[in-house]
Structure 1
């Protein structure tokens, strides 16, 4: 039985349909992340699951029970908000215990629950402080503690880290990951940060314009995107999209990339990656998708090089990040981003030889933007 099942849920605000027949199911203990750009409907879907927004149509089931028209209190969920939503006049202890008190949990059980989550979140030394005396990260731990003090069927996190600075976001991501591994709880988590999604999720639902475009593991949505939007949204820097023409026939397909002022670049398409549908695209324009890490620096000192097709181009921008270097350079009529090692010694304006790993490349239909191969 699924911990959460959403069946063709629709939500209208006036004449505007914000959720368009959304369906998904997650298992008990699964960590699902809803990700997408602002306005895609992910927070509306979260509010519908929580019962904060009545749906226009469809069904929502929690642990097999239809809760579509139940109030939030009747759904057995706990929610952590972006704004923390702590009571300023209460201590940390009182904030964590408040929900249990409202449910008339005996005092001894409340105190035991507070001590348990405070120890789990390493905030035992903060129990007698007020929210105004806490840092942003500490307040977020208290908000999480209030949810964890209960043992609901599902935990809902609505962009809980968006108010934190970059360093603290990374630290809190790690804490949430550890927390899920220890407790094995079912979590639905909303974020617009695709790095957050990749690092935390068991499964990711990529949303756009009120629809789920792809639901899969982080590896699936990153390496096997269903369309150009998913491919471009997941990954930082995002995937490069290069205009090309598919030539040849089965067993010998090639991609020709027009290069202004120079000989066109031809890239072989791996026979192992062929799809029967590619025959219909021979002689037709396609979009080649290459991630920055699909490029590798050619080193003349090495006897054996990485597999791939070699090309050379002048570097226009060099962006050191510490762990690696991002390069901007022309490929065909486009400028692409390549990720190389930190020891690469190249300056803007210099030519660099790179190999392209076509074994991990993807092809898209330039009109529908759907994946071809």
Structure 2
């Protein structure tokens, strides 16, 4: 039985449909992340699960029970908000224990729960402080502690790290990951940060315009995107999209890319064992070739491990050393693309750079609609 099941959920605000027939199931102990750009409906979906937002149609089941029209208090959930939502007049101890006190949990059990959670989150030394005496990261731990003290069926996290600085966000991501691994709790987590999604989730639901575009593991979402939107949203830097004409030459398939700078045409071979029916149907048509920055490597770099690599040469416009590698902006097929190469690359803007392209990992999309072809 799924810990959480959402069946054909719709939500309208006046004449605007914010959620459009959303369905998904979350297993017990699973960490699911809802990710997408602002306005895609992920927070509305979270609020609907929490009971904070009534739905227009559809069902929400928690532990097999229909809770669609139950109040938040009747749903056996706990929520961690973006704004922490701590009571400023209470100590940390009081904030963690408050929800238990409202549910008439005996004092001895409340104190045991507070001590257990404080020890788990390493905030025992903060129990007698007020929220105003805490840092942002400490406040977020307290907010998490208040949720964890409850031991509900499902934890809901609504962009809990968005108010923290970059370094602290990385640290808190690690803490949340450790916490989930230790407790095996069921978590639904909302974020617009695709790095958070990739590092934390067991599965990711990518949302756009009130619909789930793709539901899968981080590896599936990143390496096998179903459309251009998912491919472009996940990854930093994002995937490069290059217009190309798909042609078959005898037994081989080629992607022909116009190069206005050279007044010529660049051809990249497509692996024969990766030809699909959808791709065959687009023979002779314009398609979109998707290449992630790491699909490129400096020609001759033995560390890249690229198999069936194609070779090309392009003019460099920007060089960005990052320490571990170098990001290079190049002109390719009338587009500016980003390549991630090794830290020893010594190219300068204005020079031409020879690159290998790992066509085994490339993806193809239709020009119309942006659906995956291969």
TM-score of Structure 1 vs Structure 2, range by shorter chain: over 0.9
Partner of 2:5: 5
TM-score w.r.t. the length of structure 2 is 0.97
Partner of 2:319: 318
Partner of 1:144: 144
CA distance in 2, matches of 1:322, 1:173: 22
- CA deviations on 1:159-211 (whole Å, 9 max, x unpaired) are 00000000000000000000000000000000000000000000000000000
Pair 1:132 & 2:108 matched: no
- Contact 1:18 / 1:210 at 8 angstroms: preserved in 2? yes
Partner of 1:275: 276
- Contact 1:249 / 1:282 at 8 angstroms: preserved in 2? no
- Contact 2:194 / 2:233 at 8 angstroms: preserved in 1? yes
CA distance in 2, matches of 1:101, 1:251: 73
CA distance in 2, matches of 1:153, 1:256: 54
CA distance in 1, matches of 2:97, 2:8: 37
- CA deviations on 1:256-281 (whole Å, 9 max, x unpaired) are 00111332110000012111232221
Q: Which moved more, 1:105-114 or 1:305-314?
A: 305-314
- CA deviations on 1:267-311 (whole Å, 9 max, x unpaired) are 000012111232221111100000000001113899x98641111
TM-score w.r.t. the length of structure 1 is 0.98
Residues 301/286 of structure 1: CA separation in 2 closer, same or farther (3 Å cut): closer
Pair 1:93 & 2:93 matched: yes
- 3-state SS, counterpart of residue 38 of structure 2: coil
CA distance in 2, matches of 1:309, 1:78: 52
- Contact 1:362 / 1:371 at 8 angstroms: preserved in 2? yes
Pair 1:348 & 2:349 matched: yes
List, as ranges, runs of 4+ consecutive aligned residues in structure 1 with deviation greater than 6 Å.
Answer: none
CA distance in 1, matches of 2:313, 2:253: 22
- 3-state SS, counterpart of residue 95 of structure 1: helix
RMSD: 1.4
- Contact 1:296 / 1:306 at 8 angstroms: preserved in 2? no
Residues 104/270 of structure 1: CA separation in 2 closer, same or farther (3 Å cut): same
Residues 181/301 of structure 1: CA separation in 2 closer, same or farther (3 Å cut): closer
Q: CA deviation at 1:87?
A: 0.3
CA distance in 2, matches of 1:287, 1:250: 22
CA distance in 1, matches of 2:101, 2:64: 28
Partner of 1:66: 66
- Contact 1:250 / 1:274 at 8 angstroms: preserved in 2? no
- Contact 1:315 / 1:351 at 8 angstroms: preserved in 2? yes
Partner of 1:299: 300
Unaligned runs of 5+ in 2: none
- CA deviations on 1:203-241 (whole Å, 9 max, x unpaired) are 000000000000000000110001000000000000000
Residues 226/301 of structure 1: CA separation in 2 closer, same or farther (3 Å cut): closer
Partner of 1:36: 36
